Structure 1
């Protein structure tokens, strides 16, 4: 889940919780809440909450308590849906457990990645030249907002599904990021699944 606040258009809090995958969307408004959903499936992809107050424009972090309060407001407005998102960071310490060459590319790799549950590996396609089994790096999981404003969703790279991306230091705007291609190489001592914390984990 990604949360944005825009005080320039009615003090609206916008929550993006799913990718509409290019399909047509529709909306319904009740009281000060608008639900945006896919026309074909009815799946909720975003919520707008009007008349909110936050200190800054742009992306904001919502506490679990705040998410619960928004859930209550949705129910009070008469919606049957819920936010179904998470307030937790979507940038995780990730360990590449398995890797094979992409069947339709000479430089892409299909990786099975541990992001906290070794019994449920996440498939991510990477084209970084330093991708290898055993590497601890940073995974941006769906739905993540990159520093350049790009939203990360589940996608397909040449026919292979990728549930996020493995990040370079430059993509995360980290200080002293190497100017060569490659994903972040973290300490082997870090535990897969931890939230990535720049000040504690990056030593560029």
Structure 2
């Protein structure tokens, strides 16, 4: 679930995205809440208007909002009052440390690789990666579906050259780190980092600056 504001373009509005937009969205508006659905009628998000009526809007950041249970409960109350049936749920972190268990050449590309990445205890995902330095055995930062990247890119399941990909293995630049090198490549974190833990930008940037994290 991606929660965000755009205070310049859409004041007093909170945007919640629960799935990818395939370009044929439909909208149902009730009582200052708009349900956004795809062409098949599946929920892909909500837009909440006049949110200062029930939230301290001025304290919300401009951009991504990291929700807590209190915020989710308030949004679900508005969803219910508007007459919609779904409930939003507070999910696990989507930007986490992962371990590259396998790394094989893509069958239809001379530069892509198909990886299997452990992202939590017993949870593995297939991710297609184009970084030149990707390799088996690395600890990396993984953006799982439902991640909003610093540049505004949304991460959802997809495919690259006909191979399914469930997330993205990130570079320091994609993560918006101040000391990110300019050359291409995913960021490799120390082996001591625990698989499944949430990405810590300040810690990683300090390690980059000191040379303890490499491409």
Q: Please point out which of 158, 161, 164 is paired with 2:164.
A: 161
1:11 match: secondary structure: strand
TM-score by length of 2: 0.87
Runs of 4+ in 1 over 6 A off after TM superposition: none
Aligned to 1:184: 187
TM-score by length of 1: 0.91
CA positional deviation for 1:147? 1.4
Separation in 1, partners of 2:35, 2:90: 14
Q: Deviations over 1:112-136 (max 9, x none)?
A: 1111132x31111001111111100
Give yes or no for contact 1:17–1:84 (8 Å, CA) kept in 2: no
Query: How many residues align structurally?
Result: 200
1:131 and 2:134 matched: yes
What is the RMSD of the two structures over their aligned residues, measured on CA atoms? 1.6
1:174 match: secondary structure: coil
Structure 1 stretch 157-166 or stretch 1-10: which is displaced more? 1-10
Separation in 2, partners of 1:162, 1:132: 17
Separation in 2, partners of 1:66, 1:106: 46
Structure 1: which 5+ residue stretches go unaligned?
none
Aligned to 2:17: 16
Q: Deviations over 1:146-190 (max 9, x none)?
A: 111111111110001111111101111212212221101101011
Separation in 1, partners of 2:110, 2:11: 49
CA positional deviation for 1:19? 0.5
Separation in 2, partners of 1:20, 1:199: 31
Separation in 2, partners of 1:42, 1:117: 34
Separation in 2, partners of 1:18, 1:75: 20
1:96 and 2:100 matched: yes
Aligned to 1:171: 174
Give the 5 Å matches for 1:67-78. 67-78=72-83
CA positional deviation for 1:143? 1.4
Separation in 2, partners of 1:82, 1:110: 35
